[in-house]
Structure 1
């Protein structure tokens, strides 16, 4: 759970980031060094929206426990989980929990605030199902993974290079509407599949992906044993506290990255196109998950270039790096 290294044991940087965000959600006076709005006068107390809290978390380079950029619904789900305050589902303190990110009083205040605001929030727009997020589409100027976003609430979905932060030196200057990116990429993917030997190549690619996924599942399955071994060394006095915390942190990060990689690979392993001859028709009727699986299996990377002068052809802005089989 974000904010914790293990149940009742804080991850200090994560916990501090959440506490700063929550302080502003509740309208508490900002402590020294905490962020303020550009328009906020000295001493003025302003309650942030969840959107402002999410933007600040992303600008500071904080990512979710799965390594993804923060979204409003993800932060909301985390802050409405009673364990963030060391409480059980009935709102009672968990025995032996240790430290908690929030106090029970802060947790109750937050829930009251969310209930109050729920009646004020406009109905959410249907989310666009992006085909090339998660590291597939990258900025052609700085190589940073592009994220799915809307410029404003009424704008069409688009891919954008995220603004730079202390930990992500992105350029933040390249953006492309989702339909202008995804449709040309789909055209090129389908064209590749019409070439001789395409089915055999797909099968080889899938075999590579399944082999890597199997290795990751084994590695993830052995995580508890690794954590137990670290805890045993620490409990027997063979590992100082600082080394214990550093080892826990490193193993937690390794587990997070392994799980994220496995989720990415698993999107490619269930692709029901065997025997499909009319691929264009299949593409227009296939579920989103199957189309994304096919794209990720065929494509290693989609580089999105800045708008070239004098051209409005989306193909001029797209460079595809095709995935190669290890065979």
Structure 2
């Protein structure tokens, strides 16, 4: 089976930077109004080829852009709803959702009637955690098709407890209420700008660590190719570097959500929040909150979340 364009391996744990840039440029051209056929023609004219060496067509480009893996997502096998995987991504989840909803989009193999409308779980991606085991909560629908956050029993090879689930609207409304309360406090914007600067500095440090890891991976290949390093030793170190790089990239994606929030020029953050896109809400929540921990309900069916959700804030001003 050929690899997915933009990735180095079948596990989708390593991105090919040059192919990622091609996909990003293609998406940018689509968002600027070019047709899918025109973008495919541009890719071919520039000498870009698919993983099997073929030229790009509207159909082959459409299949790539219809694959949620390019945005670090997959579809729930029951509901067909998008959910985050924590894997590497070529584009953002928001860009992928735009691709699926864009005007004039060629029909995909799976019609919208076959699946539930996608729900944007804006507390996913590392902010909402299981209060029992510390695992990241992921979005997904219940058997009754209600959007919820849950602790997965397994996640990327690491097991969560699988015991926590909370209705998405209950948790999101609870967090939004407290976030809005903090945004209306005097000095909130100045405090947020300080946190944003600190997180931007951390993000740069993470990028440097990722670059060092990738450099070490390249340097490791030379003694292996020269027969100075056994295959077992090479594989063991490569797996360790891959795991560390993956963890750092996940942290970088989390930080970038906050770093990219457009605070400048916003006079009334509370009013801005009401109409902000989910990506901006997520980023602003990351600026304010270190984590949102969810514990088990007192009893089955209890909808009160005050006693089962703990918010940990970044700044004393927002505490």
Query: Same fold by TM (over 0.5)?
Result: yes
The answer for unaligned runs of 5 or more in structure 1 is 8-48, 55-62, 68-73, 75-116
Matches within 5 A, 1:1-327: 1-3=9-11, 51=77, 65-66=87-88, 118=109, 122-152=113-143, 155-163=145-153, 168-309=158-299, 312-324=303-315
Q: Deviations over 1:117-157 (max 9, x none)?
A: 947994332211112112211122332221101013x5221
Give the structure with higher Rg (CA). Answer: 1
Note the aligned Cα RMSD (angstroms).
3.5
Contact 1:128 1:157 in 2 (8 A): yes
C-alpha spacing 1:150/1:198, structure 2 compared with 1 (3 Å): same
Distance 1:289 1:166 in 2: 24
Q: Deviations over 1:239-273 (max 9, x none)?
A: 22211111222222222222222111111112223
Total equivalences in the alignment = 227
Contact 1:205 1:297 in 2 (8 A): yes
The answer for unaligned runs of 5 or more in structure 2 is 1-8, 16-74, 90-95, 97-107
Contact 2:129 2:137 in 1 (8 A): yes
The Cα of 1:51 is off from its aligned counterpart by: 2.4
Structure 1 runs (4+) deviating above 4 angstroms are 4-7, 117-122, 164-167
Question: For structure 1, which segment, 141-150 or 215-224, has the greater mean C-alpha deviation from structure 2 after superposition?
Answer: 215-224
Indicate the residue corresponding to 1:92 in structure 2: none
Distance 1:135 1:64 in 2: 9
So what's the TM-score if we normalise by structure 2?
0.61
So what's the TM-score if we normalise by structure 1?
0.60
Q: Secondary structure at the match of 1:314?
A: coil
